Homo-oligomer: A and B are copies of this chain.
Amino acid sequence: MKRLGIALLGAGRMGQEHAKALAGIPEARVVAVADPKKEARELARQITKAERVYEDALAAIADPEAEAVVIVTPTETHAELIEAAAKAKKAIFAEKPVALGLEETKRALDAVAAAGVPFQIGFQRRYDPGYRRARELLDQGAIGRVDQFRQASRDPEPPPLEYLKRSGGIFVDMTIHDFDLARFLVGEVREVVAYGAVRTDPRVAELGDVDTAITVLFFENGAQGVIENSRRSVYGYDIRTEVFGEGGKIVVDAVPKTPTWRFREGGLEADHYHFFMDRFKEAYEAELRAFVEAVLEARPPSPGPEDALAALRIALAATRSLREGRPVAVGEV
């Protein structure tokens, strides 16, 4: 069995999750872990049984046994590390987004293209069994031509204001996953109109951001779509998708979390997913497995650089639409 030498860059909360996922992939061999925090990198080392740890991600990229890097560092470092890894001819898995801005994103992806290295972006929903099944059904023509797309995504709690300031705004930070799902299930988006509101904390408005949004999508194939977002859902992480077409409808909706129902006076009740990590645990494992397999088998991993770019363009178009109060063509961005 051939195994892929991997440097794990970043050992924060998501880094630890990726460490566990990598530990469970037989074809993956984590050779190095990098994180500025000693405790974090040591924990990830133990989880992954990695041989070496680094304070500096760039040093880990240079590790001679690292054939690939898994980038789970803070967002603002992604682009630089992608460029460095590309130059070092390493296969790259990067958590989304590449960068908050289009220019920086393009520069990083240009470096990837120039180096000809494999690149996968962390849109994990594509690897969720529910969404994979939806994609299969669509491929089988289960509903024929798509006419409408509906997506609701809500996070349990707004992130801290400090995070929000540097997040790029709700569309780039959060809705980008929905935009990718729209592309995955329906196709390219031609134009968007975004409507926002501030319902959780007035300071969100001061940042020029919103916490509640409806985005209308117009796809190149003529389908319409709508996405609803909220930063605060008291019942937990909420995600539901509907794809409606001339031949039927496909719905993906994971409720409840455990298949355990309590019947009590007058009714029944069940639990709900709390975090996106709960909902997409399998997907996070599967996307890394797919990355490792693709690199080992010299196939291009997916979703790739074009997917990273396309979702960002839609997110930026939505941001502009909200600011300027008008429909914005994705091609404008």
Q: Does A13 contact B (CB under 8 A)?
A: no
Q: Which residues of B contact A165 (CB under 8 A)?
A: none
Q: Does A108 contact B (CB under 8 A)?
A: no
Q: Which of A49-85 contact B (CB under 8 A)?
A: 49
B249 engages A235 (CB within 8 Å): yes
Q: How far is the CA of A92 from the CA of B39 in the complex (A)?
A: 32
A255 located at the interface, meaning its Cβ lies under 8 Å from any Cβ of chain B in the complex = yes
Q: Within 8 Å of chain B (Cβ to Cβ): is A101?
A: no
Are A250 and B262 in contact (CB-based, < 8 A)? yes
Encoded as 1 (CB less than 8 Å from any B CB) or 0, chain A from 170 to 185 comes to 0000000000000000
With the chains together, A213 CA to B223 CA distance in Å? 10
Question: In the complex, what distance in Å separates the CA atom of A90 from the CA atom of B213?
Answer: 47
Distance of A255 Cα from B249 Cα, bound (Å): 13
> What is the interface residue range for chain A against chain B?
35 or more
A255 engages B250 (CB within 8 Å):
no
Q: Does A251 contact B (CB under 8 A)?
A: yes
Which chain B residues lie closer than 8 Å to A250 at the CB level? Answer: 260-263
Nearest Cβ on chain B to A261's Cβ, whole angstroms = 4
Does A87 have its Cβ within 8 Å of any Cβ on chain B? no
* Given contact pairs A152-B242, A235-B266, A260-B250, A46 touches B20 in the complex (Cβ within 8 A): no
Q: Is A270 close to B, CB under 8 A?
A: yes
From A26, which residue of chain B is reached at the shortest CB distance?
B47
Asked if A299 is at the interface of the complex by the 8 Å CB criterion, the answer is no
- Given known pairs A26-B46, A148-B228, A222-B197, the reply for A234 and B260 (CB within 8 Å) is no
* Docked pose: A49 CA to B25 CA in angstroms: 11
Q: Are B246 and A263 in contact (CB under 8 A)?
A: no
In the complex, the chain B residue whose C-beta lies closest to that of A249 is: B263
Which residues of A, 235-262, contact B by the 8 Å Cβ criterion?
235-236, 238, 242, 244, 246-262
Out of B193, B213, B269, which one reaches A268, CB within 8 Å?
B269
Whole-angstrom distance between the alpha carbons of A150 and B272 in the complex?
A: 20
Docked-complex contact B23 and A197, CB < 8 angstroms: no
Contact assessment for A234 and B248 in the assembled complex, using a CB-CB cutoff below 8 Å: yes
Given contacts A251-B260, A252-B260, contact A214 B238 (CB under 8 A): no
* Interface locus among A118-126, A127-135, A290-298, A308-316: A127-135
A264's contact among B193, B224, B225, B247, by CB below 8 Å, is which?
B247
Additional A-B contact list (14), CB under 8 Å, known A193-B193, A235-B265: A133-B260, A142-B262, A199-B222, A214-B216, A216-B216, A234-B247, A235-B248, A235-B249, A238-B263, A249-B261, A250-B260, A250-B262, A252-B261, A266-B272
**Can you name 21 A-B residue pairings with CB atoms under 8 Å?**
A20-B26, A26-B47, A130-B259, A132-B258, A152-B244, A195-B224, A197-B223, A214-B225, A214-B226, A224-B228, A234-B246, A234-B248, A235-B268, A248-B264, A248-B265, A249-B262, A250-B261, A252-B260, A255-B259, A268-B270, A269-B270
The 6 closest A-B pairs by CB, nearest first: A24-B24, A269-B269, A235-B263, A249-B263, A26-B47, A133-B260
